[in-house]
Amino acid sequence: MDLAGLFGKFDMKDIYFILITITALIMFFFFYFYINTYVGLGGQEGVIRKGKSKKKVAITFDDGPHPEYTNKILDILKEKKVKATFFITGSNAEKYPEVVKRINDEGHDIGNHGYHHLNMSPMKLSRQTKEITLTEMVIKEITGEEPLFFRPPRGVYDQKMRRMLVNKGYSIVLWTITTQDWRNPGVDFIVKKARKAKGGDIILMHDSGSLTKAEGASRMQTAKALSIIIDELRERGLRPVKISDFFK
C-alpha cells in the first residue's frame, strides 16, 4: 500500500512523523491510565485492591443512595444477614438522607464516592479536595461519623489525589471483579460475573447511577441477582463481608 498516495500532499517524512507522534500519544495515555487507575503498578500506600483472606469476599455498591434500589438491596442484605459497603455520592446523599441513615443504622460501611460522580483525575487538587470534603460533610451530618473509605468514580485516580486522601486518613478501595450491572446485562450475566469470585476478591455492583448521570438507571437486576450471589458464595465456603471486616 502506498502511504504517500493515501495522504496526498504529505511526503514519507511527514507520514512517518505523524505515525510516530500518534504512537507516542497512545503510549503516553496507556501508561498514564495504567499507573493512575485501578489496574495500577503493584502496591501503593493507601490503596486496597484486594484482601488476603481465602474465606472472605467483599460486596460493594457504588453511586447511591437511591430510595427504591438501595432499600431493596438493604432488605435482601438484612434477610441474608450480610453486611456490605456502600460508596455514596454527596449529591444523592443530600436528596435521600433517610436511606443513608438506614445504611448506617443497619451496620453497613459507608464510603465516599465524590459529590458529583465525576472523573476526578483531570481536576486540580483543590477541586478534588472539594468533591471529597463536601461528601464527607454530608455523610457526617447524617450519620455523625466520618467515612474511612473512598472509591474514585470509574476507578480513576491520580497521585496527587491519592496523597491527599492518605493525608486525610482515607483508604482508596478499588475492586477485582465488576459485575457490569451498570449496563443492565441481565440477572444471569451479573450472577455469572460474581461467580468468578475467590477469597480476597472485592465485587463491584451499583445501587444507583447511570451511564452519564449520578442516578436514573434501573438497578432492579442488581437487586434480583444479589440474593443468588450471596447464596452461591456461601455454598462455596466464602463469607460476604463489608470492607471494615475484610482484614479481621
Residues near 56 by beta carbon (within 8 Å), at least 6 away in sequence: 199, 200, 238, 239, 240, 241, 245, 246
Q: In sequence order, what are the residues at sequence separation of 6 or more whose Cβ sits closer than 8 angstroms to the Cβ of residue 200?
A: 50, 51, 52, 53, 54, 56, 57, 176
Residue 198 grid cell: 475467590
H or E stretch covering 235: helix 220-235
The residue type of 225 is A
Give dist(CA 206, CA 62) in Å, integer: 5
Bridge partners (DSSP) of residue 86 are: 61, 110
Residue type for position 27: M
Q: Are 93 and 135 in contact (CB under 8 A)?
A: yes
Helix%, strand%, coil% for the chain, nearest 5: 45, 15, 40
Handedness of CA 79, 80, 84, 87 (dihedral sign): negative
* Residues that are catalytic: 62, 206
| Lookup result for grid cell 491520580 | 158
